[in-house]
Amino acid sequence: MPFPTSNPGPLGRETPKHYGITSPISLAQAKEADLVLTHKLTEALKPYGVFEEELELQRRIHVLGKLNTLVKEWIRDISETKNLPASVIETVGGKIFTFGSYRLGVHTKGADIDALCVAPRHVERTDFFTSFLERLKEQEEVKDLRAVEEAFVPVIKLSFDNIEIDILFARLALQTIPENLDLRDDGLLKNLDIRCIRSLNGCRVTDEILHLVPNIENFRLTLRTIKLWAKRHNIYSNILGFLGGVSWAMLVARTCQLYPNAVASTLVHKFFLVFSKWEWPNPVLLKQPEDCNLNLPVWDPRVTPSDRYHLMPIITPAYPQQNSTYNVSASTRAVMVDEFKQGLAITDEILQNKAEWAKLFEAPNFFQKYKHYIVLLASAPTEKQHLEWVGLVESKIRILVGNLEKNEFITLAHVNPQSFPGPKEGNDKKEEVSTMWVIGIIFKKMEGSENLNVDLTIDIQSFTDTVYRQAISSKMFETDMKIQAMHVKRKRLHQLLPNLVMPKRRKHSTEGLRQVNDSNLDLSLDSDNSMSVPSPTATPAAAAPTLTPVKGGAPGLTAAGQPDIMASPMGPPASKRPGSPLQMERKRLKSDTEKMASADLSDVPLVPANPIPVVKNSIKLRLSR
């Protein structure tokens, strides 16, 4: 990365052009100290692999050039088979556009490329998924080729010379595709198939963002910083209710509009300042929404009642405007706002030379943050089934978070976006493939009662029923696809998680964790490591923990000295000792003992007329005051 300077580049450092829907907060120019801090920021980012080497970048450009040539040749051949005039065939065109992080210029080492194939009106979508797919198969550089034609946004996925590429398709109502085509032109959307409009949306939004920021280089360095920070702090995941790449880009773009002459070090600080104090659910807009009279649904809470319930709306700048954060829940918003406030405090220290940029990227220990966790396990008999199953389960976890939020005894449910290989059952001859997610829970402080009985059974069962029904309706479901849930206290998490995430303890007992399926299970700590929280240095992969049966054990007692209300019929519950209090609950839950009940997992049919083995999850807890 070049040393940032006050040179404005092609867009200018200070310009009369008005960016955004409001006037800037400050037009202050960068000072020498700001430039020095920006240089330090660039150096701090390098160990995390956020900058790609020039050689690798050139290889991407070369691969995209090959793909672009392939598209042009294919469209010419299609045009000839459809007997178009020779004069049209000569200029028929066709083009590969990019979008997402690559188009924004903030892709990291090894990142995939989001691409869009734009074709003229005589090229059908069926041509793209047949003859173009066949042409790709003929290329020796192409590996792992697969078409997902029935997706919400149909896509061809492939690896081209070891670069992962997702290619969408859009057929425009044009006879030819000129080289200088600007996809931001709203007129291009007229008379288009809805799938083509969806496919075009990524490019249109990305291009609009780049045209709506005062200085692209400052925007890019700031966005690289914020994306790395969000990933390190486990709040980067659209599917799980946090923010995805385009949402982070729009927040950074809005910050750039408010401080058009600031460099990256200042913009990072202002980002945290603005959004730690933002009055949600007021929407973040990069430009005034425009109505193109194409009758496409747009985000507008005045017209669409469901839009009024969006908690953290960030609105895409291209027509049809959409809220990119409709998955955000009360819990995920609370977690993100808290992170914004902590980011502001850290960048305050950095700007005062009391801390280094490295502090901003220190990953908090999610597994020490809460006292109670729900561990979710999705398993399937084969690797292929597991990939499909995990994708479906992950896409619905936000429903479980929403269910838990609505529970009268729960204040917050925080899902960690990072998943882990699930533990293997040592006594099971069948090798199941499983994936595990961890959700941190904060329980409400209840006055006037010694013990608190919390039943999460309905919350979890509602979630699992939703997943199974969709799997069945989409004909994905296979026998032995399972979802299991268990309550685990913080002090027992080390038995489930890879050792690089949570170092093993020297002393441990069978307390605190009870999963019942065929038996009560303890977790051995023999495995060395597995998926780790992203860090500047690479770490080797390793095997998942192995499940082994527990032998013996004493009946558990509640805080009141009574037997466990949910002691498993398949094995004795474990005894307990008190754990450390939650960070946000240090002044409560002070009793000497605290009870945790088991997760009762038994097979029940989901659909009586067509019985399917489904794991029923029941979690009932008794918590002391």
Q: How far is CA 511 from each of CA 224, 426, 507, 544, rounded to the nearest angstrom?
A: 43, 20, 12, 21
User: Residues at the annotated binding site?
Assistant: 99-101, 108, 112-114, 166, 227, 236, 245-246
Closest CA to 397 of 413, 411, 382: 413
Burial class (CB in 10 A: 0-12, 13-18, 19+), 174: middle
Choosing from 40, 66, 72, 112, the catalytic residue is: 112
DSSP assignment of 131-172: IIHHHHHT-TTEEEEEEETTSSS-EEEEEETTEEEEEEEEE-
Residue 241 has which token pair? 């209710």
Amino acid symbol at 7 = N
Task: Count CA within 13 A, CB hemisphere, residue 205.
Answer: 24
Q: Report the distance separating Cα 54 and Cα 46, nearest Å.
A: 14
DSSP assignment of 579-616: -PPPGGGTTS--SS--B-PPEEEEEEESSTTS--EEEE
Q: Report the distance separating Cα 322 and Cα 302, nearest Å.
A: 14
Give catalytic status of residue 19 as yes or no.
Answer: no
Decide: 267 and 371 in contact? Cβ < 8 Å: no
Choosing from 236, 319, 373, 468, the catalytic residue is: 236
Torsion angle of the four alpha carbons 158, 327, 442, 338, in this order, in degrees rounded to the nearest 10: 90
Peptide bond into 178 cis (omega under 30): no
User: Residues at the annotated binding site for ATP?
Assistant: 99-101, 108, 112-114, 166, 227, 236, 245-246
Closest CA to 169 of 206, 127, 117: 117
What is the longest distance spanned by two Cα atoms in the chain? Answer: 90
Closest CA to 539 of 551, 525, 528: 528
Q: Report the distance separating Cα 442 and Cα 328, nearest Å.
A: 18
Q: Report the distance separating Cα 43 and Cα 1, nearest Å.
A: 9
Q: Report the distance separating Cα 51 and Cα 41, nearest Å.
A: 13
Q: Report the distance separating Cα 624 and Cα 536, nearest Å.
A: 41
Q: Report the distance separating Cα 454 and Cα 445, nearest Å.
A: 12
Give catalytic status of residue 207 as yes or no.
Answer: no
Choosing from 79, 95, 102, 114, the catalytic residue is: 114
| Long-range pairs for 138-142: beta carbons < 8 A, 24 or more residues apart | 139/70, 141/63, 141/66
Give catalytic status of residue 624 as yes or no.
Answer: no
Choosing from 101, 199, 530, 568, the catalytic residue is: 101
Other Cβ atoms closer than 10 A to 277: 11
Give the three-state DSSP class for 622: strand
Q: Report the distance separating Cα 436 and Cα 483, nearest Å.
A: 10
Q: Report the distance separating Cα 183 and Cα 179, nearest Å.
A: 11
Give catalytic status of residue 236 as yes or no.
Answer: yes
Choosing from 66, 72, 159, 166, the catalytic residue is: 166
Choosing from 19, 34, 207, 227, the catalytic residue is: 227
Q: Report the distance separating Cα 163 and Cα 143, nearest Å.
A: 10
Decide: 202 and 116 in contact? Cβ < 8 Å: yes
Buried b / exposed e along 328-352 (16+ C-beta atoms within 10 A): bbbbbbbbbbbbbeebbebbeebbe
Q: Report the distance separating Cα 248 and Cα 246, nearest Å.
A: 6
Residue 546 has which token pair? 């192995």
Decide: 9 and 263 in contact? Cβ < 8 Å: no
Would you please indicate which residues are annotated as catalytic (active-site) residues?
101, 112, 114, 166, 227, 236
